[in-house]
Structure 1
Amino acid sequence: MQVTETLSDGLKRGYSFTLPGKVLDETVTRKLTEAQPEVEIKGFRKGKVPMAMLKKQFGQRMMGDALQESIDTALREHLEQTGHRPALQPNIEMANGESWKEGDDVVVNVSYETLPEIPEADLSDLTLERLVVPAEDSAVDEALGSLAANAKSYEDRAEGEAAQNDDQVTIDFEGSIDGTPFEGGTAEGYPLVLGSGSFIPGFEEQLIGAKVGDERDVTVSFPAEYGAPHLAGKEAVFKTKIHAVKSGKAAEIDDELAKRYGAEDLDALKAQVSERIGAEYQGASRAILKRALLDQLDKRFSFDLPPTLVEAEAEQIAHQLWHEEHPEEHGHNHGQIETSDEHRKLAERRVRLGLLLADIGQKAGVTISDQEMTQAVMQQARNFPGQERAFFEYIQNTPQAAQQLRAPLFEDKVVDHIVSGAKVTDKTVTKAELEAAIAALDEA
């Protein structure tokens, strides 16, 4: 095989591979010889089919297999010799495909972008600050108050008292559009908490001030992006009757409340709440520490980046941000989304850090165990109640989806590895200071 370099521009590489026709013919003959003992054709006993007939019957298909095998072997040997690591699957094209005939040499053009050489990472002088927030009694009390509010009970207001915001009203209603009732617009004895936002915008507000026995016509317009197209954007009138008006009463913070949330007693519930708050603080603190680490790495290291990887990442960033700005669009029939300099700058940072962390992790022997992967799959499967088994099978059968789960696990373990060797100082801060630091991350 003859290899000629045709392109060397930064990380871009191009080569012309010449595969001798004689070698391809020999490969076809070898494959047919290996298969001959099992071949049976009418008029010949099994294993006795002449080679000439085998070539006539199967030669074309075998040539395709031989060509693919030869290209794969040639490319593998080339990459081993050069030490190149393609950033993406190499592009392979036959240069003489239309004019090629059996016996001719095959000329194949191969092009790819190679991954860059990553500079040695001496991180022994890294200094980081870790924010520490104690789970204060006030935070625990606030969380207990929220639990008590969520466990509130409702009691009838005094006779003749009007409904207020946060009250629960029991209602019958019948909705119609242009005088015609519509499916799903009728209910009896429905308990509705005013101000909960569970009904169409404007509905609950019109029931404030209502009393038991009142009948009201509530006029609202369905949102333009409403899930039912036949109702979206249309004005509806709901004939509503009030059967009960109840005020909410938060549950007492006591052992009974604790038992409602599965704890043995109030002390046990407080311990659980304190542990949960502590875990939330630690998670937020770790996010801040990780950003600080990545910022330092981004400033320290500079190397060439594969243009295709950067462009693909920029397109993904632009696509994600566009959907965040247009939450009403759930599909992808929105045409081409242009990438900006800001998208490309962020893409360069992500690609650079991704390649750097991958290199550090590989040299440090960081791996993801089967147990860690299984835990990650189980955690994601909880987002698909009733379809957990199907999700497991999807991950097992879709390497790309499995890699999307594995990548953040690997990154986090590499970050932990780097942090373990850095000089880390703890700084005690308040909850408000921690929240401010988190907010600053979102703005950056």
Structure 2
Amino acid sequence: MGSRFETVETNKVKITFEISPEKFEEGIQEAYKRNRGKINIPGFRKGKAPRKIIEMNFGKEIFYEDAVNIVLPDAYDSAVKELNLDTVSRPEIDIEEISAENGVVLTAEVFVKPEVSIEAEDYKGVQYEIAEAVIEDSEIEAEINKVREQNARIVPVTDRPVQDGDIVTLDFEGFVDGVAFEGGKGENYELTIGSKTFIDTFEEQLTGLNIGEEKDVNVKFPEEYGKEELNGKPALFKVKINGIKFKELPEADDDLAQDVSEFDTLDEYKNSIKEKLLSAKEEEIKNKKENDIVKAVTEKAKMDVPPVMIENQIENMVNDFANQLRMQGLPLETYLQYVGQDMDSLREAYRANAENQVKSRLVLEAIANKEGFPVTEEDIDAELNKLAENYQMEKERLENILRPEDKEGLKKDIAVRKALDYIVENAVGQ
């Protein structure tokens, strides 16, 4: 019999498929090769016992489980492809029948991509608010001040107490209920007063202290700090000021422009900043326009999204964030501890955005299918060129390492972008 499926609940199907006796035999033989070195049979050197002898001693089913695991992925993928199913979760596999003579009959329950109901009038003529890119003088000054901050000179202070904005070097140790707590101690720690790096009014209480002075700083941990033993608790920090420094910013003048850019005058430098800010704001307006249009279209569409799709997207977003932190040398676990979060609260923070992304993607895919946008070889070639440039590798090498499913995903991405361009082009500005 061929593969077949039945719907067991909304967007969940049960697939019944087979592994032929011939394929199962290939799996058994491979399982024997992989495991024979672990099996001792009296009279045979380890790893040299024939398969039949092992099966006679331990039963012919000894290799069945491993054999199924070896041949199952290809069999499952073939069944999904044969039935033209777009699955979105890992399958729950059950073995219904198994024998060397008849092969294996299996079932797999799996979620599939939901159908999206949307009409042409829902995505043509969508209204959006027209916005103009305008750069204020204050925005240019803010960028200049950032550059001044980056080029500031750090100056030691010896003749005055701590002020707001100073960089202080301090020793501290924290106590709750008179007991020192883990992670509450630091030596020669640099803290910028006013940065709100420390909890409550810790930083404000350091103003007015001189080098060498000590003080008991009383604060209260936030109710949701992230550590049960500290949540909402009053704490005392014993603090000693070891040093005071401040940033001396350079003047905003022609000299600064010459030091930090290719321009000779401050006015020329400011004009270049304005051009960059304008370009960035235009891109921001373009992205907002697209997002607003997609949101409006998505709200009109009808779909029943399997929760697993949301969870998978959250997982992807958490992994991306963890990779970004790792590139900065910060493990995700350390970050969560620092900000007083746990993995559950981090995942929950991504949930709304993940749901929006999944629904938007489904809607754009549905529009692409409905409109039948063609994906040409030229489209694919152009996309491969972009990817090769982004990954800094030759296009031919990139093509060689792409799997068939990667290339199918590439085609879907191109079609989705065409759907996005289409609804944006047909939108009406107000």
* Whole-angstrom distance in 2 between the partners of 1:169 and 1:304: 54
Shift of the alpha carbon at 1:133?
1.8
Q: How does 1:193-208 map to 2 (within 5 A)?
A: 194-196=193-195, 205-206=204-205, 208=207
For 2:296, give the aligned amino acid. Q
Shift of the alpha carbon at 1:369?
3.1
- Indicate how the Cα distance of structure 1 residues 120 and 374 shifts in structure 2: closer, same or farther if over 3 A, else same: farther
Q: How does 1:291-306 map to 2 (within 5 A)?
A: 291-306=291-306
Partner of 1:282: 282
1:113 paired to 2:117: no
Partner of 1:103: 101
- Indicate how the Cα distance of structure 1 residues 315 and 79 shifts in structure 2: closer, same or farther if over 3 A, else same: closer
SS in 2 for 1:135: coil
Q: How does 1:219-258 map to 2 (within 5 A)?
A: 219-220=216-217, 235-240=236-241, 250-258=249-257
- Indicate how the Cα distance of structure 1 residues 310 and 245 shifts in structure 2: closer, same or farther if over 3 A, else same: closer
For 2:216, give the aligned amino acid. T
Aligned mate of 1:422, from 403, 410, 426: 426
Aligned mate of 1:372, from 387, 412, 430: 387
Instruction: State the Cα RMSD in Å.
Output: 6.0
1:24 paired to 2:25: no
* Whole-angstrom distance in 1 between the partners of 2:140 and 2:198: 32
Does the CA contact (< 8 Å) of 1:167 and 1:245 recur in 2? no
Does the CA contact (< 8 Å) of 1:2 and 1:17 recur in 2? yes
Partner of 1:47: none
* Whole-angstrom distance in 2 between the partners of 1:290 and 1:5: 38
For 1:305, give the aligned amino acid. V
* Whole-angstrom distance in 1 between the partners of 2:67 and 2:341: 46
Shift of the alpha carbon at 1:282?
2.5
The size of the alignment, in residue pairs, is: 362
1:261 paired to 2:260: yes
Shift of the alpha carbon at 1:94?
0.6
Q: How does 1:250-399 map to 2 (within 5 A)?
A: 250-265=249-264, 266-306=266-306, 308-310=308-310, 328-332=339-343, 349-360=356-367, 363-365=373-375, 368-369=383-384, 371-372=386-387, 375=390
For 1:352, give the aligned amino acid. K
SS in 2 for 1:277: helix
* Whole-angstrom distance in 2 between the partners of 1:309 and 1:257: 52
* Whole-angstrom distance in 2 between the partners of 1:335 and 1:267: 45
SS in 1 for 2:295: helix
Shift of the alpha carbon at 1:62?
8.3
* Whole-angstrom distance in 1 between the partners of 2:51 and 2:239: 84
Aligned mate of 2:187, from 181, 185, 188: 185
Does the CA contact (< 8 Å) of 1:169 and 1:194 recur in 2? yes
Does the CA contact (< 8 Å) of 1:130 and 1:424 recur in 2? no
Does the CA contact (< 8 Å) of 2:188 and 2:242 recur in 1? no
* Whole-angstrom distance in 2 between the partners of 1:62 and 1:107: 17
More deviation, 287-296/199-208: 199-208
Q: What CA deviation, in whole Å up to 9, does each residue of 1:158-178 have, x standing for no partner?
A: x98x5573465888x666789
Does the CA contact (< 8 Å) of 2:290 and 2:424 recur in 1? no
* Whole-angstrom distance in 2 between the partners of 1:304 and 1:376: 36
Q: What CA deviation, in whole Å up to 9, does each residue of 1:68-127 have, x standing for no partner?
A: 68766665554445432222243321113xxx4432453322322332445577444344
* Whole-angstrom distance in 2 between the partners of 1:169 and 1:69: 61
- Indicate how the Cα distance of structure 1 residues 7 and 348 shifts in structure 2: closer, same or farther if over 3 A, else same: same
Does the CA contact (< 8 Å) of 1:28 and 1:62 recur in 2? no
Shift of the alpha carbon at 1:272?
3.2
- Indicate how the Cα distance of structure 1 residues 249 and 77 shifts in structure 2: closer, same or farther if over 3 A, else same: closer
Shift of the alpha carbon at 1:136?
3.4
Does the CA contact (< 8 Å) of 2:174 and 2:185 recur in 1? no
SS in 2 for 1:285: helix
* Whole-angstrom distance in 1 between the partners of 2:174 and 2:55: 75
Q: What CA deviation, in whole Å up to 9, does each residue of 1:348-391 have, x standing for no partner?
A: 6543322222455684537653643763799xxxxxxxxxxxxx
- Indicate how the Cα distance of structure 1 residues 234 and 300 shifts in structure 2: closer, same or farther if over 3 A, else same: closer
- Indicate how the Cα distance of structure 1 residues 69 and 376 shifts in structure 2: closer, same or farther if over 3 A, else same: closer
* Whole-angstrom distance in 1 between the partners of 2:309 and 2:124: 30
Tell me the TM-score normalised to structure 1 length. Answer: 0.56
SS in 2 for 1:133: coil
Shift of the alpha carbon at 1:24?
0.4
For 2:425, give the aligned amino acid. G
Q: What CA deviation, in whole Å up to 9, does each residue of 1:254-311 have, x standing for no partner?
A: 1211133234322442133213322442343234213311222113322343454356
Partner of 2:131: 131
- Indicate how the Cα distance of structure 1 residues 144 and 310 shifts in structure 2: closer, same or farther if over 3 A, else same: closer
* Whole-angstrom distance in 2 between the partners of 1:3 and 1:306: 24
For 1:303, give the aligned amino acid. M
1:12 paired to 2:16: no
Does the CA contact (< 8 Å) of 1:217 and 1:237 recur in 2? yes
Does the CA contact (< 8 Å) of 2:305 and 2:359 recur in 1? yes
Structure 1 unpaired stretches of 5+: 33-49, 379-395, 428-444
Partner of 1:91: 92
1:143 paired to 2:143: yes
Shift of the alpha carbon at 1:413?
4.1
* Whole-angstrom distance in 2 between the partners of 1:234 and 1:328: 18
* Whole-angstrom distance in 2 between the partners of 1:68 and 1:245: 64
For 1:109, give the aligned amino acid. T
- Indicate how the Cα distance of structure 1 residues 415 and 286 shifts in structure 2: closer, same or farther if over 3 A, else same: farther
Identity value in percent? 15
SS in 2 for 1:88: coil
* Whole-angstrom distance in 2 between the partners of 1:133 and 1:120: 33
